[in-house]
Amino acid sequence: MSRNLPCWADNPITGSWMADPKKKRIKEAPQGGVSSMTTTFRIAASAIFVILSFFSAFGQPLPSAPSSQGFHSQVRLLSGGKQGETWLAGIEIALDQGFKTYWRNPGESGLPPSFDWSASENVAGIEVRWPAPTRYEDAAGVAYVYSHKVVLPVLVKPAAADKPVKLALTVDYGICKDICIPTHAELNVSLSDVGPEDREAIEEAMAKVPPQQPLGAKGDLAVLSVQSAGGDKPTLNVAVRAPSGTKPVLFAEAPDGWYVSTSTPDADNRFTVSVEERPKDAPGPVPLTLTLVAGDKAVETQVSLDGSGQPR
């Protein structure tokens, strides 16, 4: 078992990492910018995780298997076989009726999944892909969530192509209904054990991952322009194109230390993206990832901001 597999997050949006011998763990929590409210929630959630870990140390050890039953949820590692030189896997989270879990960027509050792959064997790199979420709004604010069931596709690069690959995952994720509960699972699967149903579920999930496209792209779903709206705080006007009869939803993400909020669209399919928090003296350029969803379609467009939060 290799404990020297390390984490280099070369893309916080996709959640990818590659081996780096200077580091000792693979641990990541891919997400967009984090608000102070979200940070407070995560501190509280971390405290609960510590308490649960303390008590589990005096009871039975946590099970490690392809699936694990959690609070109103079940999480499972899927094995989808090889695609060229890459192994296909998936993280399936099935939720009880009425419960939700979070996207990589949870919105105003919440806890996105965090992944620790440290105990994996014969792994040189992993990339987690994210199907588009749903916007959910209640008295507590706006959250970006999944309900019912979600599969996060995982692309695995083996360290040695002629040797078996074993994934070992420790995952912490939030489950919410009236209150939010942090949940923990430890899973492992051999990627040589391919299940046809797993492969189908992973491929269906991959089809729901928004493809990247440039600003102003052609087609019936696109982010057309991003312009400064002026005002006391950095605010952007985002114009989009969406299929007739659909109501588009826009999700905006910036790096850690930044928090951006997104409005619902006006009658002309224009959104307002406001920079609510940003680091002092932030250097540019700053990537802003815009995920646009309409009906069963979704696309992802990245633009750049300067250090003050204005489009470049």
What is the tens place of the pLDDT at every residue in 263-305? 999 999 999 999 999 888 777 789 999 999 999 999 999 999 9
What pLDDT score was predicted for residue 116? 98
**Judging by beta carbons within 10 Å of its beta carbon (0-12, 13-18, 19+), is residue 64 exposed, middle or buried?**
middle
* Percentage of the chain exceeding pLDDT 70: 79
Where in the chain do CATH 2.60.40.1250 domains reside? 9-206
Q: What is the pLDDT of residue 67?
A: 66
Q: What is the per-residue pLDDT for 53? A: 40
Q: Are the beta carbons of 42 and 111 closer than 8 angstroms?
A: yes
pLDDT for 4: 28
Q: What is the pTM of this model?
A: 0.81
pLDDT at 281: 79
Residues 6+ apart with CB under 8 A from 151: 78, 90, 91, 92, 93, 131, 201, 202, 204, 205
CA nearest to 190, candidates 123, 93, 125: 123
Q: What pLDDT, on a 0 to 100 scale, did the predictor assign at position 18?
A: 52
pLDDT of residue 189: 94
Name the architecture of domain 9-206.
Sandwich (2.60)
CATH 2.60.40.10 in the chain is located at 222-305
Going by CATH, does the domain composed of 222-305 fall within 2.10.109.10? no
Average pLDDT for the chain: 83
**For position 23, what pLDDT does the model report?**
41
| Structure confidence at residue 65 (pLDDT) | 63
Query: Which residue ranges in the chain fall short of pLDDT 70?
Result: 1-65, 67
pLDDT score at 1: 29
Q: Are 140 and 215 in contact (CB under 8 A)?
A: no
C-alpha triplet 34, 38, 39: angle, nearest 5°? 80
Q: Is 21 exposed, middle or buried (0-12, 13-18, 19+ CB in 10 A)?
A: exposed
Task: Say what the pLDDT of residue 58 is.
Answer: 34
